[in-house]
Amino acid sequence: QVQLQESGPGLVKPSGTLSLTCIVSGGSISTSDWWSWVRQPPGKGLEWIGEIYHSGTTYYNPSLKSRVTMSVDKSKNQFSLNLTSVTAADTATYYCASLDWDWEGKWFDAWGQGTPVIVSS
Amino acid sequence: DIQMTQSPSSLSASVGDRVIITCRASQRINSYLNWYQQKLGKAPKLLIYAAASLQSGVPSRFSGSGSGTDFTLTITSLQPEDFATYYCHQSYGTPQTFGHGTKVEVK
Protein backbone atom coordinates (compact mmCIF):
# COMPACT_ATOMS: atom_id res chain seq x y z
CA GLN A 1 0.00 0.00 0.00
CA VAL A 2 1.28 3.45 -0.86
CA GLN A 3 2.15 6.12 1.66
CA LEU A 4 0.92 9.67 1.24
CA GLN A 5 2.29 12.89 2.69
CA GLU A 6 0.73 16.34 2.40
CA SER A 7 2.76 19.52 2.35
CA GLY A 8 1.96 23.20 2.09
CA PRO A 9 1.43 26.39 4.06
CA GLY A 10 -0.50 26.10 7.28
CA LEU A 11 -1.74 29.67 7.10
CA VAL A 12 -3.44 31.35 4.15
CA LYS A 13 -4.83 34.87 3.99
CA PRO A 14 -8.50 35.45 3.17
CA SER A 15 -9.11 35.80 -0.57
CA GLY A 16 -5.80 34.07 -1.20
CA THR A 17 -5.06 30.67 -2.73
CA LEU A 18 -4.56 27.48 -0.75
CA SER A 19 -1.98 25.25 -2.41
CA LEU A 20 -1.16 21.76 -1.18
CA THR A 21 0.90 18.91 -2.56
CA CYS A 22 0.67 15.21 -1.82
CA ILE A 23 3.76 13.08 -2.33
CA VAL A 24 3.10 9.44 -3.15
CA SER A 25 5.69 6.90 -2.02
CA GLY A 26 5.85 3.14 -2.11
CA GLY A 27 4.16 2.98 -5.48
CA SER A 28 3.57 4.81 -8.72
CA ILE A 29 0.99 7.52 -9.16
CA SER A 30 0.35 6.04 -12.61
CA THR A 31 -1.64 3.09 -11.30
CA SER A 32 -5.33 2.38 -11.57
CA ASP A 33 -6.04 4.38 -8.42
CA TRP A 34 -7.67 7.76 -8.33
CA TRP A 35 -6.08 10.44 -6.15
CA SER A 36 -8.27 12.56 -3.94
CA TRP A 37 -8.50 15.40 -1.45
CA VAL A 38 -10.81 15.34 1.56
CA ARG A 39 -11.09 18.02 4.20
CA GLN A 40 -12.39 18.18 7.75
CA PRO A 41 -13.21 21.47 9.50
CA PRO A 42 -12.31 21.54 13.18
CA GLY A 43 -14.69 19.33 15.15
CA LYS A 44 -16.76 18.49 12.08
CA GLY A 45 -17.20 15.74 9.52
CA LEU A 46 -15.50 14.84 6.26
CA GLU A 47 -15.99 16.58 2.92
CA TRP A 48 -14.85 15.21 -0.43
CA ILE A 49 -13.16 17.95 -2.47
CA GLY A 50 -12.42 16.04 -5.64
CA GLU A 51 -10.28 13.43 -7.36
CA ILE A 52 -7.86 13.12 -10.24
CA TYR A 53 -6.60 10.25 -12.35
CA HIS A 54 -3.00 10.08 -13.56
CA SER A 55 -4.27 10.93 -17.05
CA GLY A 56 -5.45 14.28 -15.71
CA THR A 57 -9.17 13.48 -15.65
CA THR A 58 -10.80 15.22 -12.71
CA TYR A 59 -14.04 15.22 -10.78
CA TYR A 60 -14.76 18.04 -8.33
CA ASN A 61 -17.34 18.66 -5.67
CA PRO A 62 -19.87 21.01 -7.32
CA SER A 63 -19.93 23.13 -4.18
CA LEU A 64 -16.23 23.94 -4.71
CA LYS A 65 -15.85 23.43 -8.44
CA SER A 66 -15.48 27.11 -9.35
CA ARG A 67 -12.51 27.45 -6.97
CA VAL A 68 -10.73 24.08 -7.21
CA THR A 69 -8.00 22.84 -9.50
CA MET A 70 -6.16 19.53 -9.14
CA SER A 71 -3.13 18.40 -11.07
CA VAL A 72 -0.75 15.45 -11.29
CA ASP A 73 3.02 15.56 -11.71
CA LYS A 74 4.03 12.06 -12.77
CA SER A 75 7.74 12.94 -12.86
CA LYS A 76 7.62 13.78 -9.14
CA ASN A 77 5.02 11.15 -8.23
CA GLN A 78 2.81 13.73 -6.62
CA PHE A 79 -0.50 15.50 -7.05
CA SER A 80 -1.69 18.91 -6.00
CA LEU A 81 -4.67 20.95 -4.90
CA ASN A 82 -5.29 24.64 -5.50
CA LEU A 83 -8.27 26.33 -3.86
CA THR A 84 -8.78 29.99 -4.70
CA SER A 85 -10.62 32.84 -2.99
CA VAL A 86 -10.44 31.18 0.41
CA THR A 87 -12.45 32.30 3.42
CA ALA A 88 -12.56 31.26 7.05
CA ALA A 89 -14.97 28.50 6.01
CA ASP A 90 -12.07 26.80 4.25
CA THR A 91 -10.20 26.37 7.53
CA ALA A 92 -9.79 22.62 7.93
CA THR A 93 -7.44 19.70 8.06
CA TYR A 94 -6.80 18.65 4.48
CA TYR A 95 -6.14 15.00 3.68
CA CYS A 96 -4.87 13.48 0.49
CA ALA A 97 -6.01 9.92 -0.13
CA SER A 98 -5.88 7.18 -2.72
CA LEU A 99 -9.12 5.82 -4.09
CA ASP A 100 -9.17 2.18 -5.01
CA TRP A 101 -12.07 1.01 -7.11
CA ASP A 102 -13.82 -1.81 -8.86
CA TRP A 103 -17.28 -2.49 -10.21
CA GLU A 104 -18.64 -2.20 -6.65
CA GLY A 105 -17.53 1.38 -6.17
CA LYS A 106 -14.62 3.45 -4.90
CA TRP A 107 -13.09 3.60 -1.44
CA PHE A 108 -10.29 5.52 0.26
CA ASP A 109 -7.74 2.82 1.04
CA ALA A 110 -4.80 5.00 2.05
CA TRP A 111 -4.64 8.43 3.62
CA GLY A 112 -2.01 11.04 4.36
CA GLN A 113 -1.65 12.16 7.95
CA GLY A 114 -3.48 15.39 7.19
CA THR A 115 -2.29 18.97 7.21
CA PRO A 116 -4.14 21.73 9.08
CA VAL A 117 -4.79 24.91 7.14
CA ILE A 118 -6.01 28.07 8.80
CA VAL A 119 -7.45 30.94 6.79
CA SER A 120 -6.75 34.13 8.67
CA SER A 121 -5.23 37.54 8.15
CA ASP B 1 -26.32 15.35 -3.52
CA ILE B 2 -26.89 11.98 -1.85
CA GLN B 3 -27.43 12.55 1.86
CA MET B 4 -26.06 9.96 4.27
CA THR B 5 -27.83 9.78 7.62
CA GLN B 6 -25.95 7.96 10.34
CA SER B 7 -27.44 6.88 13.62
CA PRO B 8 -26.91 7.20 16.41
CA SER B 9 -24.69 10.30 16.41
CA SER B 10 -23.06 8.97 19.56
CA LEU B 11 -23.31 5.98 21.83
CA SER B 12 -21.84 4.78 25.08
CA ALA B 13 -20.68 1.19 25.31
CA SER B 14 -18.50 -1.10 27.37
CA VAL B 15 -15.69 -3.40 26.35
CA GLY B 16 -17.22 -6.63 25.12
CA ASP B 17 -20.46 -5.02 23.94
CA ARG B 18 -21.94 -5.54 20.51
CA VAL B 19 -22.26 -2.19 18.71
CA ILE B 20 -24.43 -1.50 15.68
CA ILE B 21 -24.22 1.71 13.64
CA THR B 22 -26.60 2.39 10.79
CA CYS B 23 -26.33 4.54 7.71
CA ARG B 24 -29.22 5.43 5.41
CA ALA B 25 -28.78 6.93 1.95
CA SER B 26 -31.27 9.41 0.52
CA GLN B 27 -31.41 7.32 -2.67
CA ARG B 28 -30.34 3.86 -3.76
CA ILE B 29 -26.57 3.47 -3.90
CA ASN B 30 -26.33 -0.30 -4.57
CA SER B 31 -23.36 -1.48 -2.50
CA TYR B 32 -21.25 1.64 -3.01
CA LEU B 33 -20.89 2.15 0.74
CA ASN B 34 -17.76 2.21 2.86
CA TRP B 35 -17.02 2.55 6.56
CA TYR B 36 -14.09 4.31 8.22
CA GLN B 37 -12.79 4.64 11.76
CA GLN B 38 -11.23 7.89 12.89
CA LYS B 39 -9.39 8.48 16.13
CA LEU B 40 -8.74 11.95 17.51
CA GLY B 41 -6.08 13.78 15.53
CA LYS B 42 -5.62 10.93 13.06
CA ALA B 43 -6.64 10.25 9.50
CA PRO B 44 -9.63 8.00 8.86
CA LYS B 45 -8.91 4.30 8.41
CA LEU B 46 -10.82 2.08 6.02
CA LEU B 47 -12.68 -0.76 7.72
CA ILE B 48 -15.29 -2.00 5.27
CA TYR B 49 -15.63 -1.36 1.52
CA ALA B 50 -18.38 -2.20 -0.94
CA ALA B 51 -20.81 -2.54 1.98
CA ALA B 52 -19.54 -5.87 3.28
CA SER B 53 -15.89 -6.48 2.32
CA LEU B 54 -13.42 -6.40 5.19
CA GLN B 55 -10.31 -4.38 4.44
CA SER B 56 -7.08 -6.33 4.77
CA GLY B 57 -5.68 -6.19 8.30
CA VAL B 58 -8.94 -5.13 9.93
CA PRO B 59 -10.08 -7.42 12.77
CA SER B 60 -12.93 -9.77 11.97
CA ARG B 61 -15.07 -8.32 14.80
CA PHE B 62 -15.93 -5.58 12.29
CA SER B 63 -18.56 -6.43 9.69
CA GLY B 64 -20.79 -4.57 7.29
CA SER B 65 -24.07 -5.38 5.63
CA GLY B 66 -26.80 -3.85 3.53
CA SER B 67 -27.51 -2.66 0.01
CA GLY B 68 -29.74 -0.13 -1.67
CA THR B 69 -30.36 2.53 0.96
CA ASP B 70 -29.82 0.89 4.36
CA PHE B 71 -26.50 -0.23 5.72
CA THR B 72 -25.07 -1.44 9.01
CA LEU B 73 -21.66 -1.57 10.64
CA THR B 74 -21.43 -4.10 13.45
CA ILE B 75 -18.66 -4.43 15.99
CA THR B 76 -18.93 -7.66 17.91
CA SER B 77 -17.19 -7.61 21.29
CA LEU B 78 -16.00 -4.00 21.42
CA GLN B 79 -12.31 -3.64 22.29
CA PRO B 80 -10.58 -0.70 24.06
CA GLU B 81 -8.97 0.42 20.80
CA ASP B 82 -12.39 0.65 19.09
CA PHE B 83 -13.48 3.81 20.92
CA ALA B 84 -13.45 6.27 18.05
CA THR B 85 -15.69 8.01 15.53
CA TYR B 86 -17.09 6.02 12.61
CA TYR B 87 -18.13 7.42 9.24
CA CYS B 88 -20.02 5.94 6.33
CA HIS B 89 -19.17 7.08 2.81
CA GLN B 90 -21.00 6.68 -0.49
CA SER B 91 -19.19 6.63 -3.82
CA TYR B 92 -22.25 6.06 -6.02
CA GLY B 93 -22.95 9.69 -6.81
CA THR B 94 -20.95 12.85 -7.38
CA PRO B 95 -20.21 14.46 -5.04
CA GLN B 96 -19.13 11.58 -2.87
CA THR B 97 -20.55 12.19 0.58
CA PHE B 98 -20.03 11.06 4.15
CA GLY B 99 -22.31 10.53 7.08
CA HIS B 100 -21.92 12.94 9.98
CA GLY B 101 -20.23 10.33 12.11
CA THR B 102 -20.99 8.16 15.13
CA LYS B 103 -18.85 8.67 18.19
CA VAL B 104 -18.41 5.50 20.25
CA GLU B 105 -17.57 6.44 23.83
CA VAL B 106 -16.77 4.59 27.01
CA LYS B 107 -19.80 3.84 29.14
pLDDT at A12: 98
Separation in Å, CA of B64 to nearest CA in chain A: 14
Q: What percent of chain B has pLDDT over 90?
A: 100
B14-66 pLDDT, tens per residue?
A: 999 999 999 999 999 999 999 999 999 999 999 999 999 999 999 999 999 99
The residue type found at A8 is: G
Q: Which of A3, A46, A57, A109 to mutate to test the interface with B (most CBs of B within 10 A)?
A: A46
| A28 C-beta neighbours (distance < 10 Å), count | 11
pLDDT at A106 over 90: yes
From chain A residues 56-85, the ones with a CB under 8 A of any chain B CB are 59, 61-63
Contacts of A113 in chain B (CB under 8 A): 42-43
A31-61 pLDDT, tens per residue?
A: 878 999 999 999 999 999 999 999 999 999 9
Nearest CA in chain A to B31: A104
Contacts of B91 in chain A (CB under 8 A): 99, 101, 105-107
B66-78 pLDDT, tens per residue?
A: 999 999 999 999 9
B34 touches chain A (CB under 8 A): yes
Total residue length of chain A: 121
pLDDT at A1: 82
A3 touches chain B (CB under 8 A): no
Which of B53, B55, B100 lies closest to A45 in CB terms? B100
Beta carbons of B90 and B32 less than 8 angstroms apart: yes
Q: What percent of chain A has pLDDT over 90?
A: 93
pLDDT at A18 over 80: yes
Q: What is the sign, positive or negative, of the torsion defined by CA atoms of B58, A116, A66, B99?
A: positive
pLDDT at B82 over 90: yes
pLDDT at A121 over 90: yes
